[in-house]
Amino acid sequence: MNKTLLAIDIGSANITAVIARNNLDYQINILGTGSYKSDGINKGVISNIELASKCIKETVLLAKRNTTEQIDSTVVSISGAYTKGIRSSGSVNIPNGLITENEINQVLQMALYNATIIPEYEVVHVIPIFFKIDDSADVENPLNMNGSRLEVSVYVVTAKKTSLTNIKSALKIAGINVNNFVLDGYATAISILDEQQKKFGATVINIGSTTTEYVCYKGTSLIYEGFIPVGSNHITNDLSVMLHTPPIAAEKIKTEYGNLLAPTEEFANKKIRTPRIGDEKNSSEVSLEHVQTIIHARVEEVLTLIKNNLKKSGIHESLGTGIVITGGMSKLIGIKDLATLVFDNLPVKISNPVNIKNGYISFEDEKMATIVGLLLYSLEPNRNFELDSNKNLIKKRKIEEKVEKQDNTVLTEEQKEKPVQQQKEQKLKQEEHVNKGDHNTTILPTISKDKKGKGMSKFWNVITEWF
């Protein structure tokens, strides 16, 4: 059954909500969108439930303005600020030799059972890194394959129970029941990476307003995730403190003059006037070169921290296609060149999320990466197998199965091609025709092959006797 989804991205700067569902061709159909400034959320963590729930409620109300559809399920993003990732593995025997969804679910549940999870944490994702059948090489999708033993290596994402409870409480106050949680960085990677990047591996860095989240993706699976409590707002704070100017003026300087490229002579000699804190009637002069130095120091610090964390984890050697940067700070001029230097000349790309066509907003904005990922995670039919935050198996949906069986009637290929409404009208006409007792029209039973020849010969003999 086609269900209506409410996706909510709880960010530190803005909360975004989108109502969507699949159409008959399994394409994502956007029914409504809403965005509202965040309050009560600090560095990805809810600090005031009342304020946060009010912002969430206002966001959802904005999304519901243009639709009357009943919400069937809700998916919510969670910050990497309170998550931990661990590796695990599991194996099961295949009694019948054929691997079905049941065996895939069993082996993932076994891998989860074998995982060492801290009591204060709750499972959010169980994502298979690779499967193995008997002594074979790595298998991406074992469904319908044959073997006697199925093994899996998984990456388990866990989150603090108290933080998840706070999100649920804020949503409950807003009149919303959450069905699934999705890691912010995981959703971002789904919306940003193309098939080649997913296959060979890439690290996605999402630099937001107060946080930076990064995940390593390889072979269509998440293999590592990290979090740094620093974002673009820290650049604003640095400028405000170092230049003794109000935060509003510092933000304007950052957006208008922010540049990480080597300064030209004209740029280095250029000066701007900025108001002073506590004495805004007077202003002071500051060179753009000094502004650039402040911004450069903060951005380099963030990128260096990510690089060092990747090295400690051992993931740095398998970054595959390189680094992909998104988020609000990815718009900063020269960030690609700086990242290339920091990550030892690895390929660096600035990317936007997949643009889902709709009549409301453009999803190509870097700030929309997480919300687009939530939609793809929940509504994309060709998903990989994994366990969601309810420990339920996410199954692949076959696009070609568009027409469901109704009233336990087996549909022919010709009937499947006809519109559903036309089939209903045809069925009503047939029922009406039979109920009227029209003796000239008889519904014949199906004749089996072994009786078909004898039946036709008897019928022909009767015809010849009449004439």
List, for residues 253-292, the tens digit of each pLDDT value: 999 988 898 777 777 678 888 988 887 678 888 988 899 9
Instruction: Identify the residue whose tokens are 């074998």.
Output: 114
Q: Which residue has the higher pLDDT, 422 or 55?
A: 55
> Average pLDDT for residues 288-315, to the nearest whole number?
91
DSSP secondary structure string, 322-352? -EEEESGGGGSBTHHHHHHHHTTT--EEE--
Label residue 423 exposed, middle or buried (CB < 10 Å: 0-12, 13-18, 19+): middle
pLDDT digits (tens, 9 = 90+) for 370-408: 999 999 999 988 778 999 999 999 876 655 444 343 444
Q: Is residue 222 within 8 Å of 25, Cβ to Cβ?
A: no
Least confident of 6-10, 167-171, 214-218, 432-436: 432-436
pLDDT digits (tens, 9 = 90+) for 316-374: 776 777 999 999 888 899 999 999 999 988 999 999 998 888 878 888 888 899 999 99
Classified as helix, coil or strand, 196 is: helix
Amino acid letter for position 382: N
Instruction: Copy the structure tokens of residue 233.
Output: 């707002």
pLDDT of residue 384: 85
pLDDT of residue 336: 94
Label residue 277 exposed, middle or buried (CB < 10 Å: 0-12, 13-18, 19+): middle
> Average pLDDT for residues 2-14, to the nearest whole number?
92
pLDDT digits (tens, 9 = 90+) for 172-227: 999 999 999 999 999 999 999 988 888 888 999 999 888 999 999 888 789 999 99
Beta strands (DSSP E) in 251-347 are 271-276, 279-287, 323-326
Q: CB atoms < 10 A from the CB of 76, how many?
A: 24
* CA R_g for the chain: 29
Percent of the chain with pLDDT over 70: 83
Instruction: Copy the structure tokens of residue 306.
Output: 């990510």
Instruction: Copy the structure tokens of residue 59.
Output: 């966001």
pLDDT of residue 398: 55
CA–CA separation, 26 vs 369, rounded Å? 21
| Number of separate helices (H) and strands (E) present in the chain | 14, 19
Q: Which residue has the higher pLDDT, 356 or 89?
A: 89
The half-sphere exposure of 82 on its side-chain side, counting CA atoms within 13 A, is 23
pLDDT of residue 268: 66
Shortest CA distance to 162 belongs to which of 12, 327, 31, 46?
Answer: 46
pLDDT of residue 318: 66
94-to-56, 88, 99, 132, 342 alpha-carbon distances in Å? 46, 20, 7, 12, 48
For residue 79, pLDDT over 60 is answered with yes
Give the global pTM: 0.82
CA–CA separation, 462 vs 467, rounded Å? 9
> Average pLDDT for residues 107-123, to the nearest whole number?
95
Q: Which residue has the higher pLDDT, 165 or 318?
A: 165
Classified as helix, coil or strand, 153 is: strand
Beta strands (DSSP E) in 94-187 are 121-133, 149-160, 180-183
> Average pLDDT for residues 233-241, to the nearest whole number?
94
Instruction: Return mean pLDDT, the chain.
Output: 84
pLDDT of residue 61: 95
CA–CA separation, 65 vs 63, rounded Å? 6
pLDDT band at 431, cuts 50/70/90? very low
CA–CA separation, 206 vs 1, rounded Å? 34
Bridge partners of 213, per DSSP, are 206, 227
Q: CB atoms < 10 A from the CB of 40, how many?
A: 16
For residue 51, pLDDT over 70 is answered with yes
What domains lie within the chain, and their CATH numbers?
Answer: 83-159 (3.30.1490.110), 195-350 (3.30.420.40)
Q: Which residue has the higher pLDDT, 431 or 260?
A: 260
Residues near 435 by beta carbon (within 8 Å), at least 6 away in sequence: none
pLDDT of residue 85: 94
